[in-house]
Amino acid sequence: MTSLSSSSATPILRARQLGKRVNARSGTLTILSGVELVVNPGESVAILGASGSGKSTLLGLLAGLDTESDGEVELNGISLKGLNEDQRAEVRADGVGFVFQSFQLLPALTALENVLLPLELSGYGAAQSQASRLLQAVGLSGREDHYPRQLSGGEQQRVAIARAFASQPKILFADEPTGNLDSHTGEAIIQLLFDLNRREHTTLVLVTHDAQLAARCQRRLQLVSGQLETLA
Partner 1 sequence: MTWTLALRLLAREWRSGELRLLTLALAIAITASCAVGFFTDRVERALLRQATTFLGADLALQSAHPSQLDLRRQARNAGLSYSEQQRFSTMVSAEGETLLVSVKAVDSAYPLRGDLRLSRDIQAQPFSQRGAPATGTLWAEPRVLQGLNASPEQPLTLGISQFTLGALIVNEPDRGGGLISLRPRLIINLDDLPDTRLVQPGSRVTYRYLFSGDAAAIQQLRDWLTPQLRPGERLLDVRQENPSIGGTMERARRYINLSGLLAVSMAAIAIAMAARRYTRRHYDTAALLRCLGQSQGRIMRLFCIQLLVAGTLATLLGIALGWLAQWGLVALLGELLQIELPPGGWRPALTGAATGLLILLATALPPLLQLASVSPLRVLRRELAPIAPASTLIYGLAISVAIGLLWLYSGDYSLAILLGGGSVAGTALLAGLGWLLLRLVGRIPGPLPWRLALKNLYRHPRASLTQLTAFGLTLAAMALILVVRTDLVRDWQAQLPEDAPNHFLINIQPWEVDLLKDFLLQSDVRHSGIHPMIRGRLSHINGKPAAEQIPPDAPGRRGIRRELNLSWSADLAPDNRIEAGRWWQPQDYGRPYISLEAKLAKDLGVTLGDQLRFSFGDRQIDAEILSLRSLDWSSLRPNFFVIFAPGSLADLPATSITSFYLPASRGPWLRQLVQQFPTLTLLEVAPLLENLRAVVAQVSLAAEYVLFFVLAAGITVLFAGLANSIDERLRESALLRTLGAGSTLIRRMLSIEFLLLGALSGLLAALLAQAGIFALYQLLQLAPRFHLLLWISAPLVGALLVWLAGRLATERILHQAPIALLRDHQD
Ligand X SMILES: Nc1ncnc2c1ncn2[C@@H]1O[C@H](COP(=O)(O)OP(=O)(O)O)[C@@H](O)[C@H]1O
Q: How far is the CB of 85 from ligand X (least distance, A)?
A: 16
Task: Supply the angle between the helices 111-121 and 128-137 in degrees, to the nearest 10.
Answer: 130
Q: How far is the CB of 5 from partner 1 (least distance, A)?
A: 26
* Neighbour tally for 77: CB within 10 Å: 11
Select from 207, 203, 193, 194 the least CA-distant residue to 163.
193
**CB nearer to ligand X: pick between 26 and 129:** 26
16 binding partner (options partner 1, ligand X, Mg ion, none; Cβ < 5 to 8 Å by kind): none
The residue whose Cβ lies closest to Mg ion is 56
Site string for Mg ion, 42-61 (x = CB under 5 A): --------------x-----
R_g (Cα) of the chain, nearest Å: 18
Q: How far is the CB of 141 from partner 1 (least distance, A)?
A: 20
Number of helices (H) and strands (E), helices first, in the chain? 7, 10
Residues that bind Mg ion (rule: CB under 5 A) add up to a total of 1
**CB nearer to partner 1: pick between 2 and 51:** 51
Residue 20 pairs in a beta bridge with 32
Distance CA 11, CA 7 (A): 9
Distance CA 29, CA 114 (A): 37
Q: Which of 16, 55, 92, 163 binds ligand X (CB under 6 A)?
A: 55
Contacts 24+ apart (CB under 8 A), 149-155: 149/107, 151/111, 152/185, 153/103, 153/180, 153/181, 153/185, 154/181, 154/185, 154/186, 154/188, 154/189
Residues 47, 39: contact at Cβ < 8 Å? Answer: no
**CB nearer to ligand X: pick between 30 and 128:** 30
The residue whose Cβ lies closest to ligand X is 56
Site string for ligand X, 6-35 (x = CB under 6 A): ----------------x-x----x-x----
Q: Which of 28, 51, 84, 129 binds ligand X (CB under 6 A)?
A: 51
Q: How far is the CB of 38 from partner 1 (least distance, A)?
A: 23
Name the residues that contact Mg ion, by CB under 5 A. 56
Binding site for ligand X (CB under 6 A): 22, 24, 29, 31, 49, 51-57
